[in-house]
Chain A
Amino acid sequence: MNKTLLSIALFLHASKRYKKSKKFIHGILTDTNNPYKKYVDITIIFLIITSVFILIYEVKNPVPKWLDTYDIYFVSLIFSIEYLLRLWVHNDISEPIVKEYKEALFLQRAFSPFGVLKEGLVEKIKYMFTPSALIDLLAIFPAYRPLRVLRIFVLFRVLKLLRYTKSINQFTEVLSNKKFELLTLLFLLFFIVMTAGIAIYVMEEKTNPNIESLFDALYWALVTISTVGYGDISPVTPEGRTISILVIISGIAMISFATSVIVSAFSEKLSELKENRIIEQVNKSKSFLLVCGYGQMTKMFFRHYGGEYDNYIILENSLERMEQARKDGYDAIHEDASRYETLNKFNTDHCDITILCLTASDVENIYITLNAKSISKNIKVIARASDSSMLSKFKHAGADHILMPNRVANTMIHTAITQPTMYKAIHAILTGKSVARIDEIRAYECEGIIGKSIDELAFKQAKLLFMGIHRRGEFIFNPLHTEIVQDHDILLVMGREISLDYFKSLYVRGV
């Protein structure tokens, strides 16, 4: 027995495929940043909605056989599979067994897998008793036709929907923050209902024909305190009416109290909820910009190019500036980009992230650069440096591009004085305001040009000026016309945007 368990555990431990598939399943079921999760979610939601619809329709109308089959077998089967998969990926049993085995070998003690096996199973059972797991399990049942009462479990299918709706999760999260207040309120409610119920039972059990048991009395108290007041049971004696008055007054007080607790819970959490929404939104996109700091630089950048970037977030750690950014109409959150937790919220595995460190302080910018690079090397960092003495530090920190506003401005002034004509041209090219600009054509994005010689490419036809090839970090200016374009070449051309688009369209599909 020990041996079989151990060999299974060792086999699973060694199998890369097992680990990979488990990780994949875990990702699509639970990781909100996983790009495929939404397809799983949509499928399940579709199944739930159709099955609930069928069950409701069935109450009064006969349903076709195939729909019944779909509901009984297909939906339930998928739900069962989902339930089992969730149970499977919740925790790992084989790993602890292997670990235990290795430790036993090391300490030369007798190996027994049952201790860790038990721990693992207990963990799984604990999971089975969590509300969401229970709902998942109960949602499988309605398909069992012989027991009509099981149909009530259709409710659990509706509840299962909650798992797939973010807002409900947030709602419960917000309310759980006010647990103490709400529990106090509940206790108070319970206390008043009990007291009033018992009192009316004692006072009117004999005189009121509608109150036959303590349950009736309690039911009356709850109906009254909630201000619903069906009127099926009403007090008939002056004593009973006095109790009613007290219950009604306390009911009004309690409802307003409950409302205010919930409202204040939300208003406290509102900004956080909003920020999470912005982050979630941006995490869904393929690539986005994180702009750190909302100073002059950022303002200028957004004023000129804000419209061209859809996916971005401004991170600003001063509340005042963050609000200014929001007032100006940009998506900003109040976060410190130099903190690990902040950047870790973003989907670094599945998105191309570019960070612009544009705060006014070099120290801050270097820190953010290091922070970003420590989280993932894939994050691209464009950092602002105040002067050239900082250059080596930023390079060391791993910044991909370093921007020195002073130097850029100085170069521009220098050019404006020494080469006034050139200045106009360069300024026009840099700002992209003019009809022409210098742009790059990446061979891997435009596969049709690979393997062709410069002569064969239709630069003339597209009215583009071909300037050279950037190949493996080196620039070949004005190469021979027989030069063949290679895989990772980047062609430098000058021309109008429409020319460039036209040229790309000629070659993009490998024509």
Chain B
Amino acid sequence: MFKSILLFGYGTHGKFIAQGLENDGFSVQVVESNEHFYTQAVEDGFKHALKVDVTKDEDLVALNPESYEQLVCVMDDEHLNVFLTLSLRSLFKESYILSISDSIHTTKKLQMAGANKVIDMYEVSANKIHNILNRPIATQLLEEFVVHKNGIGFREYVIPEGSFLHGLMTDDIDLAKYGVLLVGMIDEELGNHFIFITAGLNHKLDSGDTIVCVGKHDELESFEQQITKKEAN
């Protein structure tokens, strides 16, 4: 579970993300090229933060990005961010790169530069406005679920070998007695697509599949214990 993240940028976004990840138990390596942000990072407790000129390839290689699970590019300077994404991609073909886009025009450039995932700040915000206008309560609740406010949240589980869930059809599963709801799953056999439980397809669960549930914290916790068991009780 404890993934290692190489985070480029400790500006508007980087600061928040670094702290959030640290709280969740990730090991975060902060890299900054801006003096001010770098000092800020060190002051905030990221003692191992590095000040690196990200435009130099040899400096990037020296960071050994391949040893990290994800490379996250959230530099405040969007030009630098695109350049960094491009450099990383050309140097490390296999790495997983996630970048943020601060403007409409940058998103496409980042995708072309080779980012695996681009999060467009304006796109997600535009979506949010639309959602607030059409379903205000649902939007607010969903957001609270995501940040685990009010004790309710989402949790993903990988079905372990020999679990009682193995071999069950999704339509037959009733998790109500555990106090959690099955939202969807990722079936290894069908590629890595997320399938919503309400999509109308009856799926057979196998060990190794990932399921996503929503529920109260402690109940999610105890459900984790339950799924390793062979028999439903």
Contact = CB atoms under 8 A, between A and B. Distances in A.
Interface in A103-117: none
12 contacts: A296-B122, A297-B122, A304-B130, A403-B128, A413-B98, A416-B98, A432-B131, A434-B196, A435-B199, A440-B138, A465-B198, A477-B152
A477 B144 CA distance: 12
Given A435-B196, A436-B184, A301 B126 contact: yes
Interface stretch (B12-20, B43-51, B83-91): B12-20
B137 A492 contact: yes
Contacts of B120: 300, 409
Interface in A385-433: 387, 401, 403, 405-419, 421-422, 424-426, 428-432
A356 B129 CA distance: 8
B72 A409 contact: no
A425 B13 contact: no
Given A308-B130, A413-B17, A422-B156, 6 more contacts: A304-B123, A415-B146, A422-B146, A432-B131, A439-B135, A477-B152
A436 B198 contact: yes
A417 B146 contact: no
Contacts of B3: 417
B104 A467 contact: no
Contact of B104 (A299, A436, A475, A496): A299
Interface in B103-136: 103-104, 117, 119-133, 135-136
A415 B153 CA distance: 12
A478 B179 CA distance: 7
Interface residues of A, number: 64
Contacts of B200: 463, 496
Nearest to B216: A477
B16 A407 contact: yes
B17 A410 contact: yes
B12 A382 contact: no
Given A414-B17, A421-B194, A425-B184, A403 B156 contact: no
B129 A382 contact: yes
Interface stretch (B54-62, B161-169, B207-215, B225-233): B207-215
B150 interface: yes
B28 to A, nearest CB: 10
Interface of A: 289, 296-297, 299-301, 303-305, 308, 354, 356, 358, 382, 384, 387, 401, 403, 405-419, 421-422, 424-426, 428-432, 434-436, 438-440, 463-465, 467-468, 470, 475, 477-478, 490, 492, 494-496, 499
A305 B130 contact: yes
B184 A413 contact: no
Tell which of A410, A418, A436, A475 has the most Cβ of chain B within 10 Å. Answer: A410
Contacts of A300: 104, 120, 122-123, 125-126
Contacts of A354: 133
Interface of B: 3, 5, 12-13, 16-17, 20-21, 24, 26, 70, 72, 74, 98, 100, 103-104, 117, 119-133, 135-138, 141-144, 146-147, 150, 152, 154, 156, 176, 179-181, 183-184, 186, 194, 196-200, 210, 212, 214-216
Ranked 3 nearest A-B pairs via Cβ: A436-B196, A409-B121, A301-B126
Given A296-B103, A425-B183, A430-B127, A414 B21 contact: yes
B133 A382 contact: yes
A382 B124 CA distance: 15
B125 A421 contact: no
A405 B132 contact: no
B146 A297 contact: no
Given A425-B196, A494-B196, A301 B129 contact: yes
A251 B31 CA distance: 82
A475 B199 contact: no
Given A419-B156, A430-B142, A297 B126 contact: yes
A458 to B, nearest CB: 14
Contact of B20 (A410, A492, A496): A410
Contact of B117 (A403, A409, A416): A416
Contacts of A304: 123, 126-127, 130
Contacts of A387: 12
B222 to A, nearest CB: 15
B146 A465 contact: no
B135 A440 contact: yes
Given A421-B186, A425-B194, A297 B125 contact: yes
B212 A425 contact: yes
Nearest to B185: A421
Contacts of A468: 141
Contacts of B12: 387, 406
Contacts of B214: 467
B134 to A, nearest CB: 8
Given A301-B130, A421-B194, A475 B141 contact: yes
Contacts of B126: 297, 300-301, 303-305
B181 A465 contact: yes
Contact of A416 (B104, B119, B127, B144): B119
Contacts of B98: 413, 416-417
A413 B154 contact: no
A432 B119 CA distance: 16
